[in-house]
Structure 1
Amino acid sequence: MPPVHVSPPSEAAERTTRGTPLPQRPRPPDPRPTQRRFRQGGTRPNRRRRLSQNFLTDPGTARWVVRLSGVTSDDLVVEIGPGDGAVTRFLARTTHRVIAYELDPRLAERLAARYRDPARGVRIVHGDFTRARPPRAPFSVVGNIPYSRTSDIVRWCLEAPGLGSATLVTQLEYARKRTGAYGRWSLVTVLSWPWWSWRLAGRIGRDRFHPVPRVDAGILVLERRAAPLVPPERRAEYRRVVELGFGGVGGSLAASLSRVYPAGRVTAALRSARVPGGAPVGLVHPDQWVEVFRSLAGSGREGARRERRGRTPLT
């Protein structure tokens, strides 16, 4: 079932509610204050366009993003692309352990001056987030990220060992495709599913950004599973099964898997996972992928021994 999209509340409405944001659109923000900040701060909108990032102009939306992240006062947070500090402002009110990576030197300098007091707990780093080493301590990621860097940023997050969750403002279409909104599932989602959940938590209208982008945004939330659906030692084996399935032969999952596994075994695995025999690869839910993998590759110590000995059908 497609996720339900909820628009962020206005500031007045949020002060009177504590639960799920009201499903009503707040009044579009006035872009003029942000335009004045561009002129006064020396960072022009066209420069920001080259960096493929747009400022959030509505405080209620920025607050909503932070609230959806679930960050608490004890959490270490890495913010991606703070820009003019719209999200940083509410992160700093929630926790005193924020590391914000800003690629634009002028914006980084301005934010560093604003948060120069160490007591505020915000450290501004001028640099490319994707080239940074993840913190050793457990941490969360929050950010209104550059759309053109979405894939690189998501990959960094999925590979960071200490990351517990990532709350990212992305293009709405990207978030929809990664969360199965159209009944289809991408390779990156299926590959990471045993260890990460993907959720489209909300939608942000394009009119709440400056410069105004061509499309609306989505709030994508990645959360590490407390109990992995596949043991870590079988990650490589699971990856090979999934990549075989996405090989595209014959258009169906059964046809792709039958290149390596006996047809009867594939049929039994699909039946166990309640996958129709002719189902296209992209229409198979990630939970069904996990079940197919378990059926094909065995379970427990037997499967792990095959992995170590190199006897899996995919080696």
Structure 2
Amino acid sequence: MARIQPSTTRNTPDRHPTGEPRRTERDRARRTLSQNFLTDPRVVESLVRLARPRPTDLLIEVGAGRGVLTEALAPHCRTLVAYEVDPRLIDGLRTRLRPYPQVRVVRQDFLTAVAPDTPFAVVANVPYARTSEVVRWCLRAPRLTSATLLTQWEYARKRSGDYGRWSLLTVRSWPEVEWRLCGRVARTAFRPVPRVDGGLLRLTRRPEPLLGTSADRAAYARLVDLGFSGVGGSLHASLRRACPTRTLDQAFHRAGLRRDVVVAQVTPNQWLTLYRAVARR
């Protein structure tokens, strides 16, 4: 009689009934907190170069993790505030960064932090699941000078117009903030390895806004919101609700746009031309 071999998918304490290894508490935390730790020193160096920190700068890091990027940034700035929400990482972070008195490790969700009232920059390997929230926090901070972010590759391309299409958030903020795609990062630069590559995205607040007054910027934002609303079925039809047809036709001609153009294909600079033409009517 043949001997029956024990099943390799037996429900042992370290395996799920399906035969898959059970997730540990750390595994669950990584999934919940969207933790993919940056381990490639070349990418760390690229982030530091791109951020261009100066000895007088105040830097904020989002999700310091194990401190690889924090340690690389520390020698280049006056003060570095490193936010980390995972309590399991705090002791290791503080031990690693003890040689750098200019670094302050804060156990707190970055999104609940109050933005500094002095100029500061953000640098981060952003938790992918919270990218949009982190970016919006940065855009709301009036004293932010720049944000150098490692995000999902698709997000970085979408926000920087690299697909040839532009998002509402980018177009709306363009008079005050430049969005620039600065490179691609292979997913193998992280542990655990995510499913997608990363992208280096840099937001830089302009020293002088492209629209000079707050009233102009508010009116521009309202025009952009109307254009992206989809009311009327086309950009031209949407904007016609606020502008006379003749004025709008002239503005489209000045911006080099056809009447049937898709709203996402209008560049930020074309939006500025549209606004200026409409505002002068």
TM-score interval, smaller chain:
0.7 to 0.9
State which drifts further: 223-232 or 208-217. Answer: 223-232
Q: Give the 5 Å matches for 1:158-197.
A: 158-197=139-178
Shift in alpha-carbon separation, 1:103–1:232, aligned structure 2, 3 A: farther
* Aligned residue runs from structure 1 range 209-248, under 5 A: 209-234=190-215, 235-248=217-230
Shift of 1:43: 7.8
Greater length-normalized contact order (CA 8 Å, ≥ 6 residues apart)? 1
Q: Percent identity?
A: 51
**Which residue identity lines up with residue 272 of structure 2 in the other structure?**
V
Which secondary structure state, in structure 2, belongs to the residue aligned with residue 260 of structure 1? coil
Match of residue 115 from structure 1 = 97
Residue ranges of structure 1 left out of the alignment (5+ in a row):
1-41, 300-315
Residue 238 of structure 2 corresponds to 256
2:60 alignment partner, one of 78, 81, 95: 78
Q: What's the secondary structure of 2:246's corresponding residue?
A: helix
Q: CA deviation at 1:47?
A: 1.9
Letter in 2 for 1:153: V
What amino acid does structure 2 have at the position aligned with 1:259? R
> Displacement, 1:251?
4.0
Q: Match for residue 186 of structure 2?
A: 205
Residue 101 (str. 1) matches residue 96 (str. 2): no
Contact 2:63 2:84 in 1 (8 A): yes
Give the distance between the partners of 1:106 and 1:44, measured in 2 at CA: 9
Structure-1 separation of matches of 2:41 and 2:121: 21
**What residue number does 2:31 align with?**
49
User: Post-superposition shift, 1:271?
Assistant: 1.0
Q: Displacement, 1:45? A: 4.0
What residue is the counterpart of 1:11 in the other structure? Answer: none
Aligned residue runs from structure 1 range 226-305, under 5 A? 226-234=207-215, 235-298=217-280
| CA RMSD of superposed structures (Å) | 1.6
Q: Given the superposition, is the C-alpha separation of residues 186 and 224 from structure 1 closer, same or farther in structure 2, using an over 3 Å criterion?
A: same
Alignment correspondent of 2:8 = none
| Length-normalised TM-score, structure 1 | 0.78
Structure label with greater radius of gyration: 2
Number of residue-to-residue matches in the alignment: 257
Residue of structure 2 aligned with 1:59, choices 37, 41, 44 = 41
Where 2:250 maps in the other structure, the secondary structure is: helix
1:250 CA drift (Å): 4.3
* Separation in structure 1 between the aligned mates of residue 47 and residue 250 of structure 2, nearest angstrom: 44
- Partner of 2:207, secondary structure, is coil
Alpha-carbon separation, structure 1, partners of 2:207 and 2:97: 34
Q: CA deviation at 1:200?
A: 0.7
Contact kept in structure 1, 2:146 and 2:203, CA below 8 Å: yes
Number of the residue aligned with 1:150: 131
Q: SS in structure 2 opposite 1:221?
A: strand
